[in-house]
Structure 1
Amino acid sequence: MLQWLRRLFQGPAKDATPQQAPRPEDDAPPVETPQSEVPAPPPADPMAPFLPFQIRPLEVADLNRLLGVFRDAIQVGSAGEYDQQQRDAWSRGQNYDSLISLLSEGETVVAQWDDELVGFAQRIADNINMVYVHPDSARVGIATLLYQHLEDSARVEGIPSLITHASLTALEFFRFMGFDSEGEEQADRGGVNLKRHLMRKSLGNFQ
């Protein structure tokens, strides 16, 4: 049914050169492409406004489902950039108790699709600390909406810029969101190194 609706909204194929833009990845916490060579954003899914998901603040009842989203996003979504040892070390970096403790800081929002929790994102002050979407719910704009909610609240607070430590999986996503890389980093997860990028975006909220 969903595929039929997408074909209906897309309409007949147009006589145009196919777009070559890569898709942004749905993940977060890392070469560089010169700014002039950053690829154009991918075409939007025409059904995205009609899909039954919502972005809302984190609730206590959500906490027992977040760890599964976190681990599946890493193990499946980052398989193209990190090997199994790296993904295992990364996904073991949080357990249930430590994730709850971390999410008690700052602002956390979740994406709910029908009755399923399919993604979450966190901002601590000026740091976009997490953006994770379950791989089964990727590529429909959920990560973008999660991030945009956090950026909007940062603007309201008058924060002048945002930073993130972006995984290689999330690098193009954050570039699409307007971040620039300030250089490559190495993150240590239980003695295993993972490459990532320190990235920054100006929000223009200067006094």
Structure 2
Amino acid sequence: MLQWLRQLFHRRTPSKPAPHKPEPRQKPETVSTPAPVSEADPIAALMPFQIRPLHSSDMSELLGVFREAIQISAAADYDQQQRDAWSRGQSYDSLISVLSEGDTVVAEWDDKLVGFAHRIRDYINMVFVHPEASRVGIATLLYQHLEDGARIEGLTELTTHASLTAHDFFAYMGYTSEGQELAERDGIPLTRHAMRKSLI
């Protein structure tokens, strides 16, 4: 349905030719793989998003979002072996354990869970959006909720480990990379960025 709405909108809205510029290198976890940064999708304003706290009944859907985001959204940055190891990094039970601490919010669209984000104190641990709901601002809304909570708590900075896929998103949110490092999932190396943002 999202694709149909976009096609309908663009059919009715003439677009101006954009000046040519080189394509940026596409950018896998932070632990985070939000939707890639893009210009605002005009159809986003028509979509009934809801950002709300995590419910216990959300867990099975969250695991699906986690795995689909890795397998599809991170495909340009990580090979199949890396994505398989990464997506196996959380099970239903381990995800419950991880999300039991800190602040977790989820995004619903049309009564379907399409994204979630998790913060533990000053660390943004996860931001994942289902590929079918990417590029409409859901990752930004989820992230902003977590940052607002951190500011209310009086935190002065936030850190994260951003996947190659998520790097540009976090840079757009005001984070600075402190360099690349290797993480391992099932013995498979995954490159990521250590990133930091001042809230002062």
Matched, 1:94 2:90: yes
Q: Which residue is equivalent to 1:115?
A: 111
Q: Which residue is equivalent to 1:12?
A: 14
Instruction: Report if aligned partners of 2:29, 2:161 keep a CA contact under 8 Å in 1.
Output: no
In 1, the alpha carbon distance for the partners of 2:49 and 2:30 equals 20
Q: Which residue is equivalent to 1:172?
A: 168
Matched, 1:140 2:142: no
Task: For residue 182 of structure 2, give the secondary structure of its aligned residue in structure 1.
Answer: strand
Deviates most, 19-28 or 146-155:
19-28
Q: Could you say if the C-alpha distance between residues 48 and 64 of structure 1 is closer, same or farther in structure 2, counting changes exceeding 3 Å?
A: same
Q: Which amino acid aligns with 1:201?
A: K
In 2, the alpha carbon distance for the partners of 1:22 and 1:108 equals 31
Q: Which residue is equivalent to 1:162?
A: 158
Q: Which residue is equivalent to 2:40?
A: 44
Q: Which residue is equivalent to 2:62?
A: 66
Structure 1: runs of 5+ lacking an equivalent: 31-40
Structure 1 residue 29: Cα displacement:
1.2
Structure 1 residue 5: Cα displacement:
3.2
In 1, the alpha carbon distance for the partners of 2:73 and 2:29 equals 7
Q: Which amino acid aligns with 1:199?
A: M
Task: For residue 72 of structure 1, give the secondary structure of its aligned residue in structure 2.
Answer: helix
Q: Which residue is equivalent to 1:149?
A: 145
Counting matched residue pairs gives 192
Q: Could you say if the C-alpha distance between residues 101 and 191 of structure 1 is closer, same or farther in structure 2, counting changes exceeding 3 Å?
A: same
Task: For residue 44 of structure 1, give the secondary structure of its aligned residue in structure 2.
Answer: coil
**Runs of 4 or more consecutive aligned structure 1 residues displaced over 4 Å after TM superposition:** 18-28
Structure 2: runs of 5+ lacking an equivalent: none
Q: Which residue is equivalent to 1:29?
A: 31
Q: Which amino acid aligns with 1:81?
A: D
In 1, the alpha carbon distance for the partners of 2:82 and 2:11 equals 39
Instruction: Report if aligned partners of 1:26, 1:133 keep a CA contact under 8 Å in 2.
Output: no
Q: Which residue is equivalent to 2:193?
A: 197
In 1, the alpha carbon distance for the partners of 2:28 and 2:108 equals 15
RMSD: 2.3
In 2, the alpha carbon distance for the partners of 1:22 and 1:110 equals 30
Instruction: Report if aligned partners of 1:133, 1:142 keep a CA contact under 8 Å in 2.
Output: yes
Structure 1 residue 17: Cα displacement:
2.7
Q: Could you say if the C-alpha distance between residues 26 and 149 of structure 1 is closer, same or farther in structure 2, counting changes exceeding 3 Å?
A: farther
In 1, the alpha carbon distance for the partners of 2:170 and 2:186 equals 26
Q: Which residue is equivalent to 1:37?
A: none
Kindly, what percent of the aligned residue pairs are identical? 62
Q: Once the two structures are superposed, what CA deviation does each residue of 1:137-181 show, in whole Å capped at 9, x if it has no partner?
A: 111111111101111111111110100000011011111111000
Task: For residue 42 of structure 2, give the secondary structure of its aligned residue in structure 1.
Answer: coil
Task: For residue 127 of structure 2, give the secondary structure of its aligned residue in structure 1.
Answer: strand
Q: Once the two structures are superposed, what CA deviation does each residue of 1:115-143 show, in whole Å capped at 9, x if it has no partner?
A: 21111000000000000011111111111
Deviates most, 90-99 or 43-52:
43-52
